[in-house]
């Protein structure tokens, strides 16, 4: 249970870190030289034990890969961030316009400068509504923690 608790807290802190990076107007290195990205994001995938930060250089609210590094999105660290002790993302869920719970294989949490406006999107960069629930589970699957992120900027753990 301790690993799930720590992983949930670390994820909440990572979300705040992305928000702070957006507010700080941090430059990133590209092949064309330093650039200030219009947005900073976090990419999470279902069943993954990792996540990563990215600079959304094309401002499409998703991680699009580094096909052309001077134009496309850039990962902000060499290695992915790992959850502790085998904790993984069990599910990524949101509520549609009819208030039905939906599942997503990938979620992006993107903060746009200069005011760190929050966008919650799926793998295609399409909006998934006002909140996303990220359920973390231990290796056995018996212990879980849920991190909820809202477009208002609120991050909660339960």
Pairing of strands 33-35, 28-30: antiparallel
pTM: 0.91
- The residue written with tokens 């993302």 in the block is 89
Over residues 37-81, the pLDDT tens digits come to 999 999 999 999 999 999 998 889 999 866 665 567 888 887 899
Over residues 59-69, the pLDDT tens digits come to 899 998 666 65
For the chain, give percent helix, strand, coil, nearest 5.
15, 40, 45
Over residues 78-94, the pLDDT tens digits come to 789 999 999 999 999 99
Furthest-apart CA atoms within the chain: distance in Å: 48
């Amino acid at each position: 249970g301790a690993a799930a608790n720590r992983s949930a807290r670390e994820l909440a802190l990572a979300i705040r870190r992305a928000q702070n990076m957006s507010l700080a107007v941090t430059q990133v290195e590209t092949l064309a030289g330093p650039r200030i990205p219009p947005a900073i994001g976090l990419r999470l995938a279902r069943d993954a034990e990792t996540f990563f930060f990215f600079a959304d250089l094309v401002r499409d609210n998703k991680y699009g890969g580094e096909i052309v590094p001077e134009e496309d999105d850039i990962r902000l660290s060499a290695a992915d961030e790992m959850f502790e002790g085998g904790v993984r993302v069990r599910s990524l869920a949101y509520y549609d316009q009819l208030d039905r719970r939906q599942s997503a294989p990938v979620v992006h949490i993107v903060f746009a400068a200069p005011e760190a406006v929050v966008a919650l999107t799926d793998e295609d960069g399409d909006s998934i509504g006002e909140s996303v629930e990220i359920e973390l589970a231990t290796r056995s699957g018996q212990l879980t923690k849920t991190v909820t992120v809202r477009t208002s900027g609120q991050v909660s753990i339960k």
